[in-house]
Amino acid sequence: MASKKPAPKKKPAEPAPRPSRKAKPKKLGRPPKKPSERRVHTLGVRLTLADKEAIDAEAAVAGMSTAEFVLAALEHYRASKKS
């Protein structure tokens, strides 16, 4: 019987070159808001089901989210107090 020679060992593949750390990609999205413009506080309000449904319905008619509608109502209230 003829003995077979073992297959030559393969060299490990060289890793791909790393991208340069100097060339950072541009960040996408809008620039951050000023601290005075950020909305970080929440307000929890207890409502009846009828009140919640009425607010949601009015917001939908206005084409707004419930939060946008409530903030717009607050702005309207503030404007009416100034007059």
In a domain, 58, yes or no: yes
Domain count, the chain: 1
Q: What is the distance of C-alpha 21 from the center of its chain?
A: 26
In a domain, 3, yes or no: no
In a domain, 71, yes or no: yes
Tokens of 19: 């991208």
pLDDT tens-place string over residues 16-65: 777 666 777 777 888 999 999 898 899 999 999 999 999 999 999 999 99
Q: Which residues contact 65 (CB under 8 A, 6 or more apart)?
A: 59
Domain that holds residue 69: 43-82
Predicted local confidence at residue 17, as pLDDT = 75
In a domain, 76, yes or no: yes
In a domain, 31, yes or no: no
In a domain, 65, yes or no: yes
In a domain, 37, yes or no: no
Strand, helix or coil for residue 13: coil
